[in-house]
Structure 1
Amino acid sequence: MGFPMPVFSVSDPADPRVAAYTSIREKDLTSGHGGRFIVEGKVTLETLLTRLRFAVESLFLAESRLEPLKGLLSKVPAGVPVYTAPQDVMDQVAGFPMHRGVLACGLKGNIPQPGEFLAKDEPRSGPLLLLSDISNHDNTGACFRNAAAFGAGGILLDERCCDPLYRKAIRVSSGASLFLPYAQGGTGLDMVNAVLSAGYTVWAMTPRAEAAPMQSLPVPDKLAILLGAEGPGLPDDIIAAATPVRIPMSGGFDSINVATAGAIALAHVFGEKQG
């Protein structure tokens, strides 16, 4: 076929070379196994290979996807093995039907704490998005996608948030968590205090009636938009440390999905900056 790198065939689902891909629906590799993470699908694989933020350990492809992906495979770094298997073998390894037939294993490396992230002398042209206690992978992925779409300069997550490099979060983010700068660790209040100390104004998004309507506030040059868990929302001590801000809604309804709220706030700020 003339592929630009060696391709290794796998015929046994128990082959140790593809152990990282075993039963990926049920496990999160990011906190163990060397801090690996799984990328699924062509779009996210292309992001992984072209952005080059994270090291690539291996690829695992269905045999039928080799030829269609030939151009993309030319971007695989030298020395990274590409494994391929018949569709039924790949399905057995993954633990469910791999309709896309495209997987890759990346290495997480060192993710900075929020304080370390803020201490870096790097220009950031957009607002920061802060996530506290967001434990749903779909919401985390959607927040990353929205942040990338509306020009956020980075994302900070506290220790209670789920990992944005979990397979599902990466997929929902449309690959944004593979390139958007982020940091994670510490409590939500620690994160907010670190951002305040770095000279940012923090908008704590909340449906509370006493919060200022978002459109009534000037957009600061250094802004961080803080989102909390759906249901309980942000705790009192975090809201008290920041500027409470609400998105006006129709009477009798005061709650929307957290990722949607983030998108509205980011789009508002983006529009103000563009204008």
Structure 2
Amino acid sequence: MTGHPTSPPDDEPPPAAPAPIRIETIDDPRVAVFGNVRDRDALGQRGVFIAEGDLVVRRLIDESPFDTVAVFVAEPRLAPLAPALRRLDPGVPVYVAPRGVFEAVVGFHLHRGVLAAGRRPAQRSADDLLRSIGDNTTAVVLLLEDLTNHDNIGGLFRSAAAFGAGGVLLTRRCADPLYRKATRVSIGTTLTLPFARCADAPEGARTLREAGFEVVALTPAPDATPIREWLARGGAPGRVALMLGAEGPGLSGAALDAASARVRLGEMVGADSLNVAVAGAVAMYALRSGDRGDRAPTL
């Protein structure tokens, strides 16, 4: 099943949305996949992930490579979502319930009133990510070391998509980009921006370097070169992998040793560092504003 059917010819009317299947009781097994969403987020759910909110669900249906397994909406949200639902494969069920039943199934108040289950893909490797980037000679990727905060993961994906990054490589200890909160914070870009896993930052850095990327560590260390100064000296003329570490510990010594350059954001007043999602966005903006030939920001 998929959320990406073939578009009809211009002279044919658009397909009708799948007929909604009404859910009247909270124990209906057809919506079990959406039951107690928070608990399922915490425990993990083999084979599927949950997308929340109109925008994220639309991106799952229209833009992502992932199959849509099912959609579950509160009654008032059905009509606004109908245009996207028309683009679903006819075999994908769309369940609709009164607001009270919907929230009882989900397990908490969800004001957006829209959920979808997507089929979780097989884990991708760094080599898979590189194939998706292709021969782009000015590609930028993020290399994230052990970021466990879902808000930061989602924020970095959102910024990476906005500034035209080619993808994200995460170490195995990083939080799941398909976790519901990460996907929501990213406004669905974790569903559209290619990502992959590596064992650790040195391994990821080595793979990217062999593919022609300059691996640049972003660190608040005082001996790091301000990023504007580094760019002015001719840094990052081609492919760049921007490496970011978790808040608090930052990048490990092994990760810093694997980098070909260490940069910082420059002088700041009132704080010694920024939130990693904000710092990553600022650094990506600096890379984008350096006339590297990338496409313009899209968000």
Query: Which whole-Å CA distance do the structure 1 matches of 2:36 and 2:155 have between them?
Result: 24
Distance 2:87 2:131 in 1: 33
Q: How far does residue 220 in structure 1 lie from its aligned partner after superposition? A: 2.7
Counterpart selection for 1:167 from 180, 189, 207: 180
The corresponding residue for 1:231 is: 248
Residues in 1 aligned to 2:130 and 2:167: alpha-carbon distance in whole angstroms = 10
Shift of 1:73: 1.5
Name the SS for the 1:256 alignment partner: coil
**Do the aligned partners of 2:74 and 2:102 also contact (CA within 8 Å) in 1?**
yes
Aligned to 1:258: 276
Asked whether the 8 Å contact 2:17–2:83 carries over to 1, the reply is: no
Residue in 1 that maps onto 2:121: 109
Choose from 41, 54, 66 the match for 2:66: 54
Q: Which residue of 1 aligns with 2:95?
A: 83
In structure 2, do the counterparts of structure 1 residues 10 and 219 end up closer, same or farther at CA, with 3 Å as the change threshold? same
Cα-to-partner distance string for 1:73-118 (whole Å, 9 max, x where unaligned): 2111220000111111110111101211110000111231123322
- Tell me, yes or no, if the aligned pair for 1:30 and 1:37 is still in contact at 8 Å: no
Q: Which residue of 1 aligns with 2:263?
A: 245
Equivalent residue for 1:13? 26
Number of residue pairs aligned between Structure 1 and Structure 2: 273
TM-score using structure 1 length: 0.93
Q: Is the counterpart of residue 97 in structure 1 residue 109 in structure 2? A: yes
Contact 2:62 2:84 in 1 (8 A): no
Paired residues of 1:115 and 1:191 also in contact (CA < 8 A): no
Percent of pairs with identical residues: 41
Q: 1:268 aligns with which of 265, 283, 286?
A: 286
Report the AA paired with residue 233 of structure 1.
Answer: G
Residue deviations 1:150-181 (CA, integer Å, cap 9, x gap)? 11011110101001010010110011111011
RMSD after superposition: 1.9
Distance 1:254 1:52 in 2: 38
Which 5+ residue runs of structure 1 have no aligned equivalent?
none
Q: What secondary structure, in the 3-state scheme, does the structure 2 residue paired with 1:67 have?
A: helix
Following superposition, the deviation at residue 195 of structure 1 comes to: 1.1
1:65 maps to 2:82 = no
Q: Which structure 2 residue ranges, 5 or more long, are not aligned?
A: 1-14, 294-299
